[in-house]
Amino acid sequence: MDHPTIGDRISGALIYAALAVILVLVLYPLIYVLSASVSEPSAVIEGRMWLFPVDLTFTGYNKIFHNEEVLIGYRNTILYTVVGTAINLFMTTAAAYPLSRKDFAGRGVITAILVFTMFFSGGLIPTYLLIKSLHMINTIWALILPGAVSVYNIIIMRTFFQMSIPPELQEAAAIDGCGNLQTLWRIVLPLSMPILAVMVLFYSVGHWNSYFNALIYLSERSKFPLQLFLREILVKGEVDNMVQGGAAMIGQDQQILDAEIIKYAMVVVANVPIFLLYPFLQKYFVKGIMIGAIKG
């Protein structure tokens, strides 16, 4: 490795060059969004803004923070994320711990029952009819209960318990008179903070970003999560514009211009919590994937 050949130097340089290109391709759209969100709208629309903000303005953000629906969406999403993640965390632990115990009779059968649902499901329509008959339409439960636990995450957590918590420790606790639940609460969970962090992040990012259940189960706007409002602003608005052959360019009305940078600002605002958490996310998500990979 100390004296690479000329061929290896060339291939090494090519790899670095390729990675540099990839970096630009991934970073550019992200920076563009950030810059566009604080630029003069006409500069963005006419293509005078390439990388750095042109004629700095915060109109977009100002409009967003005075938009009541965006705030409602934000509030709802926080509520759904917190309640949903709490339930997910309880359910995942409640399944993973018993299944991690080699002395737990029936773990094979229960695991099979759970894993089968990863490969076959009733699908959209029967699930929809079920939610409807449970009168969960237009309630928070329609967003939270159908995905109350992910079998994949149960397997990850079970694997962690098996690998990282010595069975001897649990047996010793049992001899000292600890019940099973006490062992879980006092011995196992305090040693499982890393995996609990992984789970909180997996689930909460999932709730934060999801729109599908809200789309099919919610019709009252006051209950919409942020992603549904985002969809109206980013996706539907954009398509309408395109289908009408770019009315925005013909009108040149300031409001229509502003609408354009509001979109960019919306993307930034919607992702602020996630990017604040990003350093933790990266570390713990990677850890979760590694554990998941061990048990395929």
Closer CB to another protein, 53 or 146, in the complex: 146
Q: Which of 232, 223, 239, 31 is nearest to 137 (CA)?
A: 223
Query: Are 261 and 45 within 8 A, CB to CB?
Result: no
CB of 165 to another protein, least distance (A): 15
CB of 27 to another protein, least distance (A): 6
Q: Which stretch binds another protein (CB under 8 A): 54-62, 63-71, 162-170, 270-278?
A: 270-278
Number of shown-chain residues binding another protein (CB under 8 A): 99
Query: Are 170 and 183 within 8 A, CB to CB?
Result: yes
* CA–CA separation, 42 and 132 (whole Å): 47
* Residue 180 to residues 161, 237, 255, Cα–Cα distance (Å): 14, 55, 63
Tell me if 252 contacts another protein by CB under 8 A: no
Among 68, 123, 168, 222, binds another protein (CB under 8 A): 123
CB of 62 to another protein, least distance (A): 20
Tell me if 13 contacts another protein by CB under 8 A: no
Closer CB to another protein, 139 or 241, in the complex: 241
Q: Which two tokens stand for residue 219?
A: 């019709």
Tell me if 249 contacts another protein by CB under 8 A: yes
- What DSSP string describes 75-130? HHHHHHHHHHHHHHHHHHHHHHHHHH-TT-TTHHHHHHHHHHHHH----HHHHHHH
CB of 249 to another protein, least distance (A): 5
- Indicate if the alpha-carbon torsion angle 140, 219, 238, 52 is positive or negative: negative
CB of 241 to another protein, least distance (A): 7
Tell me if 8 contacts another protein by CB under 8 A: yes
x-marked contacts with another protein along 194-223 as a string, rule CB under 8 A: -----------x--xxxxx---x-------
Q: Which stretch binds another protein (CB under 8 A): 14-22, 65-73, 165-173, 188-196?
A: 14-22
Among 52, 65, 82, 122, binds another protein (CB under 8 A): 122
Tell me if 109 contacts another protein by CB under 8 A: no
Angle between helices 254-294 and 151-164 (to 10 degrees): 40
Tell me if 56 contacts another protein by CB under 8 A: no
Planar angle of CA 135, 138, 143, nearest 5 degrees: 90
Query: Are 220 and 138 within 8 A, CB to CB?
Result: yes
x-marked contacts with another protein along 58-97 as a string, rule CB under 8 A: ---------------------------------x--xx-x
Tell me if 246 contacts another protein by CB under 8 A: yes
Give the length of the chain: 296
Q: Which of 259, 295, 8, 20 is nearest to 161 (CA)?
A: 295
